[in-house]
Amino acid sequence: MKLIHRNLLGALGVVGVLVLLMIVQVDRKLAVRLTGETTARLTTEARLVAGQWTANVDADALADRLGRESTHRITLVDSAGRVIGDSEFDRPELDQLENHANRPEIVAARTSGVGSARRRSASAGNEELYVAVPAAQGFARVSLATTSLEAILSAARRDVAVAGLAALLVAVVLSWFFARSVSQPVVELSEVARALAAGDFSRRPARAAPGEVGALAVAVNRLAEQLSARVEALRAEETLVRELAESLNEGILALDARQQVVRVNETARTLLNLRAPLPFGAELLPRDRAFRDAMTAALAGETVHDAEAAIGGRILNVTARPLDHGGAVVALLDLTRLRRLETVRRDFVANVSHELKTPLTVVRGFAETLADDDPPAETRRQFAQSIASHTRRMQRLVDDLLDLSRIESGGWVPEPQVVDFAAVIADDVSSMRATADRKGIRLDATVDAGAEALYVDPTALRQVVGNFVDNALRHTTVGGVTVLARRDGHGVTVSVADTGCGIDSEHLPRIFERFYRVDPARSREQGGTGLGLSIVKHLVDAHGGRLHASSTPGVGTTLSAWFPDRPGDA
């Protein structure tokens, strides 16, 4: 079968288009002509009405009479736009009609002598064709409901459509006989091609088609096999590359020669706070200078190693390499944790060294004095007491360091059980009442109803309450310390309030850091190691609880710890 026979299908399409155009054109012309003739007829009637409307004639009666005779709606409007006669409304209803001065047909009649408009009537509620002409007393308007015009047009459309369909049917029958043997393989090839374009490489065309169509089917079959093999290879490689990129702890992003980001893994999105879908422009990347310089250098063909950029509160190591055909690959390694650990380690060593230096110096000085001299017995006793005091301070520091190290390394895990909260607080308060009495301050404890028992590690609870009370007693000289346990949602809050010197607002967020002291000299004088509240924070966090501190300088400080009834209730 020659390809020329396929033109029959085109001929069928041409016939169909011509029939459709004929129907549309006839419909349009008929509508225009029918509307024009009806408008001319209504114009003539309007002028006849205008000629009969004189000053001595009752306008409403004239409109009613002429409306019955012509079967059209007659409306008489004075120069001000007020309707004074209408064949469809009685005299009392005329006063309710809107002013017609701004109706399109009235405006056109005023300016050009004849005005027409097709619109929905605000008073009658149906669509009408209006024609208005000037009259001696105002304007005469004749209108016709468009339903009659539509009926004529519908009948004409039906006749034209029947004729067109008959012609199209004849063309279909003729085309079918000529194109049947070609249309089926062409349709099949078209469906196979669409399936291949959509990625379905399992579809294959039949090879039994004759002539050029058969040759085309063989070529499409070979193309499908090759595309299937290549796409599968590309998919496997794409999956491998994507999984490798996503499995990296480093952030990876790739830019093409147009500075469009075409690939980015989830780590890089997190590090750079990226939300835009791929691809997106490099202008959406962070504006850090070191990062931008490394990227610009790579796009220019240079390789950049170990640049550091500060982005979003993170410290990132940036490595950028150019691509052979333009573009660049940028690798990001998050150094924030490493830098923070290095800082913590340096601060920790410096703080421990500083904390041990003073007591060691005192112990060494007193020991050398006792060894080299022979002071009086009272002086020796004072030296020995001082050595013992500083030794106890170093012992407390070492014990706190060991506790903190054990908690942070995971060597300690809370073993919660139901604890008599009231008994624990009573024991801690009783053990520290002597210190309060010696300083002449008040120490009270209250356990509200519902807070008597709690599911918590008893040792951790005693350490938390003990640290809070000890800290309050050391910083309170007048007034008192109040311990309160109360039910708070799905848990219990233990708060210790004192009437001490208070803490300034700039220090308050940092009091739970290790070795942080609001007044270092005074804290060391009073025997504090600077680790108590840091230990408390770890103990409360291990239970899924929360810490809170509030203070007013010169009024006092309140430290609170909230423990959930059960782990996970927070």
Q: What percent of the chain has pLDDT over 70?
A: 80
| 3-state SS class at 204 | coil
Residue matched to tokens 């288009």: 17
In 10 A of CB 198, how many CB atoms? 9
Quickly state the pLDDT bin for 31 (edges 50, 70, 90).
Answer: confident
Quickly state the pLDDT bin for 411 (edges 50, 70, 90).
Answer: low
Mean pLDDT of 354-364: 69
In 10 A of CB 384, how many CB atoms? 13
> Sign (positive/negative) of CA torsion 264, 270, 271, 276?
positive
473 burial type by CB count under 10 A (0-12 exposed, 13-18 middle, 19+ buried): buried
Task: Tell me the per-residue pLDDT of 154-185, one tens digit each, with 9 for 90 and over.
Answer: 877 787 778 777 877 777 777 666 666 666 66
The CA distance from 415 to 390, in Å, is 34
pLDDT at 545: 84
pLDDT at 18: 75
What's the pTM value of the predicted model, to 2 decimals?
0.39
pLDDT at 267: 83
Number of helical H runs and strand E runs in the chain:
14, 18
| Residue 330: closest CA among 272, 247, 258 | 272
Task: Tell me the per-residue pLDDT of 456-509, one tens digit each, with 9 for 90 and over.
Answer: 888 788 888 888 888 888 888 888 888 888 888 888 888 888 888 878 777 776
pLDDT at 412: 64
Mean pLDDT of 351-367: 69
Quickly state the pLDDT bin for 370 (edges 50, 70, 90).
Answer: confident
Of 85 and 224, the structure prediction assigns the larger pLDDT to 85
Helix 532-542 × helix 458-474 angle, to 10°: 150
Half-sphere exposure of residue 377: CA atoms within 13 angstroms, side-chain side: 0
Per-residue pLDDT at 57 exceeds 70:
yes
The CA distance from 395 to 386, in Å, is 14
Quickly state the pLDDT bin for 354 (edges 50, 70, 90).
Answer: low
Mean pLDDT of 222-237: 78
Q: Are 34 and 149 in contact (CB under 8 A)?
A: yes
Of 419 and 246, the structure prediction assigns the larger pLDDT to 419
- Encode 239-249: b = buried (16+ Cβ within 10 Å), e = exposed: eeeeeebeeee
pLDDT at 8: 60
Q: Are 255 and 235 in contact (CB under 8 A)?
A: no
In 10 A of CB 452, how many CB atoms? 15
491 burial type by CB count under 10 A (0-12 exposed, 13-18 middle, 19+ buried): buried
C-alpha torsion 179→185→186→189, nearest 10 = 180
The CA distance from 429 to 465, in Å, is 9
Mean pLDDT of 226-254: 77
User: Would strands 480-487 and 442-447 be described as parallel, antiparallel, or unpaired?
Assistant: parallel
Quickly state the pLDDT bin for 133 (edges 50, 70, 90).
Answer: very high
124 burial type by CB count under 10 A (0-12 exposed, 13-18 middle, 19+ buried): middle
Q: 458 preceded by cis ω (within 30°)? A: no
The CA distance from 104 to 525, in Å, is 98
Of 245 and 338, the structure prediction assigns the larger pLDDT to 338
The CA distance from 546 to 493, in Å, is 9
Per-residue pLDDT at 401 exceeds 90:
no
In 10 A of CB 150, how many CB atoms? 14
The CA distance from 295 to 107, in Å, is 69
- DSSP labels, 311-370: ETTEEEEEEEEE-TTS-EEEEEEE-HHHHHHHHHHHHHHHHHHHHHHHHHHHHHHHHHHH
| 3-state SS class at 28 | helix
pLDDT at 323: 87
| Residue 129: closest CA among 113, 146, 141, 112 | 146
Task: Tell me the per-residue pLDDT of 189-221, one tens digit each, with 9 for 90 and over.
Answer: 777 777 777 767 677 666 555 666 677 777 777
Q: Are 329 and 323 in contact (CB under 8 A)?
A: yes
In 10 A of CB 306, how many CB atoms? 9
Mean pLDDT of 36-63: 86
The CA distance from 530 to 379, in Å, is 31
Task: Tell me the per-residue pLDDT of 501-551, one tens digit each, with 9 for 90 and over.
Answer: 878 777 776 677 666 555 544 444 444 556 667 777 877 887 788 888 888
pLDDT at 180: 63
To the nearest whole number, what is the mean pLDDT of the chain? 78
Tokens found for residue 441: 């301050």
What domains can you pick out in the chain, each with its CATH number?
7-151 (3.30.450.20), 248-331 (3.30.450.20), 339-396 (1.10.287.130), 417-564 (3.30.565.10)
Q: Which residues contact 216 (CB under 8 A, 6 or more apart)?
A: 189, 209
Half-sphere exposure of residue 498: CA atoms within 13 angstroms, side-chain side: 22
Quickly state the pLDDT bin for 134 (edges 50, 70, 90).
Answer: very high
Q: Are 203 and 224 in contact (CB under 8 A)?
A: yes
Q: Compute φ and ψ for 163, nearest 5 degrees.
A: -65, -40
pLDDT at 430: 80
Q: Are 465 and 494 in contact (CB under 8 A)?
A: yes
User: Would strands 453-456 and 417-420 be described as parallel, antiparallel, or unpaired?
Assistant: antiparallel
Per-residue pLDDT at 567 exceeds 70:
no
- Alpha-carbon distance values, 208 to 163, 212, 265 (Å): 40, 11, 49
